[in-house]
Amino acid sequence: MAATDAYDVVVVGGGPCGLAAAVAMSRVLPAGTKLTVLEATPRMAPQGAAVGLFHNGIAALEALSPGLVHRLLHGSVLFNAWRDYDDVSGEPLPASMNWDRGAQIESTGYTPCHVQWSELRRSLYDMLPQGTVQLGTKVLRCSRLDSGLFELEAETEAAGEGGGKRRATVLARHVVAADGYFSRTRRTAGDGRSPTFRQRVRWFGSITQAELAAASIPLPACLDPKQSPGAEGAVHRWFPGDQPYMDVQAAPRGFVFYPISLPHTSPGGSRMVWSFYANLPILEAAGLQFPPPAPKGEEGEGELRTSLQGARRSGGDSLRRALTTAESFGLPPGVRAIAAATPPERVSELGMYSHNQDAIALGAWANGGLVFVGDAAHSGGPDGQGANLALEDGAALGAAVRKHGLSPEAFAAWEAERVPRILDLMYNKDIPFPAKMRIAMSYAPEPLWTPAHVLDEQAQGAEGTRPLPPDLEARARQAAGALSGEELAALMSDIRAWGRAGLRDIVTAKAVAAGVLKPSGSAPAESGSTGSGTASTDAQAPAAAATAVARP
């Protein structure tokens, strides 16, 4: 491949972070820029667990498109409560997580909702031009050539009868590495740092209502809405009852069960996720080792083999290991039965790894035309912020490229902006949790979209798209022509206000449906309401679109 055939930018990894970065850059790069995403998985199939979208994650998505959050939250779940149980006796424990979601909606126009990881991924994937993402292309290593280009060696799924795999070489002027916490790109072309094993293992899987029914699995009383009203909309958590835990991450073991889709949005009814965490001594007491033995034929040796063993594995062996561990300490049989009924291909096991603070420093994430984002840069524990910070990374990268052009200067500027924020939110123990949440919620990026992008999405009419009010649509169509700078700024502000008003309507309707809010008069519908198209500032939009509600 000649240098003239090189891509201007290659994104390694097609998870939410890599796709968000690709969308963000595509919004601001000039036409004709050669951008591609290399993703190892061969198809955009349902996988992963759930993502809690917090205020900062929503803000990052709004920077990509004001209507994206409408489509994404169409099938989201707003939990009505956290219900805790002793993980041996099954007896209820005092609730440990409660907050006033109604007050949050009234003050900010939003409260966290959960979406399927694969739906978030798919929504971002659909925003890129067809062919941008090369599925079934796993990057094995990255090297910097004397010419200044990057050479990526990849393994691809061969098309046609017989299938098989073949090697391919890709050249790039710039590389955005979003290939996860065991980033091959960072190991082969960056500082070589790998995350540290935290002596903890996680399993997760997903199962639908129809699959549970087909397996004739009776729900435990605490999960049965007929016996426990509201159970279908709650997060259920089992951990040792000998002392109070704010979160399963603080407990030596924990099992969590919750819905991640509504019955009308998924084949087979509501899809539910379970996650099971256990410290290493608990596995050892069950007669298991971690990492598990490597499958025959797996490439790599030394540190690379160890890291591959610690990465995610899926299938029947992972399910058996989870059930063996759960049975060893006596997780209630009814809870174990839910996991046992899960299709094995949807069960994954992974070690809990995170980067040490010394891996978070200027120069570690950006080096010339190479930059690391998301877990490849700053993997942490499952505290709910990982995906949100990764979405921030993508939006912030787009803003840096818009300001500095596609260049090492843009990557360095992005790193200089992101490092202090990540240090504060992930590592600074002097900042109390409520203050960290305020820092997270303060994220307010500028939009990377234009009115033309909004019109394109309106024309596509994807499920969950909320129509622009006629006046806004007419002004958006004029934007390509005679609008002055001030007129364009006012239009952008009004479209943002429309987006925020729609977001508030959707979340308010979900809160009413979940029993978090009581309707006063009539609750807004989840779709069809357009919100306000005339608010002059984003701050005014939530108030203008608010529907009167009362907290129970």
More confident call, 361 vs 286 = 286
**In the structure encoding, which two tokens stand for residue 373, read together?**
């984002």
| Closest of 128, 166, 148, 163 to residue 11, by C-alpha | 128
Return d(Cα 228, Cα 332) in angstroms, integer. Answer: 17
Confidence of residue 543 (pLDDT cuts 50, 70, 90): very low
Return d(Cα 307, Cα 301) in angstroms, integer. Answer: 9
Asked whether residue 523 carries a pLDDT value surpassing 60, the answer given is no
Return d(Cα 182, Cα 193) in angstroms, integer. Answer: 9
Looking from the CA of 525 toward its CB, the CA atoms found within 13 Å total 6
Q: In this predicted model, what pLDDT tens digit does every residue of 386-415 receive, in sequence order?
A: 899 999 999 999 999 999 999 999 999 999
Handedness of CA 236, 241, 247, 253 (dihedral sign): negative
- Host H or E run for residue 234: strand 234-239
Out of 391-395, 516-520, 537-541, give the one with best mean pLDDT: 391-395
Return d(Cα 199, Cα 283) in angstroms, integer. Answer: 10
Compute the C-alpha angle 150/124/398, nearest 5°: 55
The residues, ordered by sequence, that sit 6+ positions from 328 with a Cβ below 8 Å of its Cβ are 282, 285, 286, 287
Map tokens 């099938």 to a residue.
75
Q: Which CATH superfamily is domain 3-65+127-193+357-441 in?
A: FAD/NAD(P)-binding domain (3.50.50.60)
Asked whether residue 550 carries a pLDDT value surpassing 70, the answer given is no
The residues, ordered by sequence, that sit 6+ positions from 108 with a Cβ below 8 Å of its Cβ are 55, 441, 542
**In the structure encoding, which two tokens stand for residue 273, read together?**
């996720």
Residue 249 main-chain phi, psi, to 5 deg: -70, -20
Handedness of CA 537, 542, 548, 550 (dihedral sign): negative
Residue 342 main-chain phi, psi, to 5 deg: -70, 135
Q: What residue spans define the domains of the chain?
A: 3-65+127-193+357-441, 196-354
Residue 292 main-chain phi, psi, to 5 deg: -70, 165
Residue 460 main-chain phi, psi, to 5 deg: -70, -30
**Tell me, what's the pLDDT at 267?**
62
The one-letter code for the residue type at 459 is A
Confidence of residue 308 (pLDDT cuts 50, 70, 90): very low
Map tokens 């307010």 to a residue.
444
The proportion of the chain whose per-residue pLDDT surpasses 70, expressed as a percent, equals 86
- Do 348 and 204 touch, CB atoms closer than 8 A? yes
Looking from the CA of 252 toward its CB, the CA atoms found within 13 Å total 14
- Do 152 and 53 touch, CB atoms closer than 8 A? no
The DSSP bridge pattern shows strands 253-259 and 234-239 to be antiparallel
Average pLDDT of span 50-65: 96
Return d(Cα 387, Cα 16) in angstroms, integer. Answer: 8
What ranges in 355-429 are assigned the alpha helix state H? 375-378, 386-404, 408-422
Beta strands in 246-324 (DSSP E): 253-259, 271-279, 313-314
CB neighbours (10 Å) of residue 232?
Answer: 20
Out of 339-353, 372-386, 478-492, 530-544, give the one with best mean pLDDT: 339-353
- Do 24 and 448 touch, CB atoms closer than 8 A? yes
- Host H or E run for residue 151: strand 150-157
Average pLDDT of span 72-87: 90
CB neighbours (10 Å) of residue 221?
Answer: 12
Shared fold status for 3-65+127-193+357-441 and 196-354: no
Return d(Cα 175, Cα 17) in angstroms, integer. Answer: 14
| Closest of 114, 121, 131 to residue 75, by C-alpha | 114
**pTM for this structure?**
0.87
Return d(Cα 504, Cα 78) in angstroms, integer. Answer: 13
The one-letter code for the residue type at 97 is M
The residues, ordered by sequence, that sit 6+ positions from 509 with a Cβ below 8 Å of its Cβ are 523, 524, 525, 526
Asked whether residue 531 carries a pLDDT value surpassing 50, the answer given is no
Distances in Å between the Cα of 499 and the Cα atoms of 56, 495, 549 are: 15, 6, 20
Q: In this predicted model, what pLDDT tens digit does every residue of 25-38 receive, in sequence order?
A: 999 999 999 999 99
Collapse the DSSP code of 310 into the 3-class scheme (helix H, G, I; strand E, B; otherwise coil) and give the result: helix
The residues, ordered by sequence, that sit 6+ positions from 251 with a Cβ below 8 Å of its Cβ are 239, 240, 245, 277
**Tell me, what's the pLDDT at 296?**
53
Confidence of residue 122 (pLDDT cuts 50, 70, 90): very high
CB neighbours (10 Å) of residue 93?
Answer: 18
The CATH architecture that domain 196-354 belongs to is 2-Layer Sandwich (3.30)
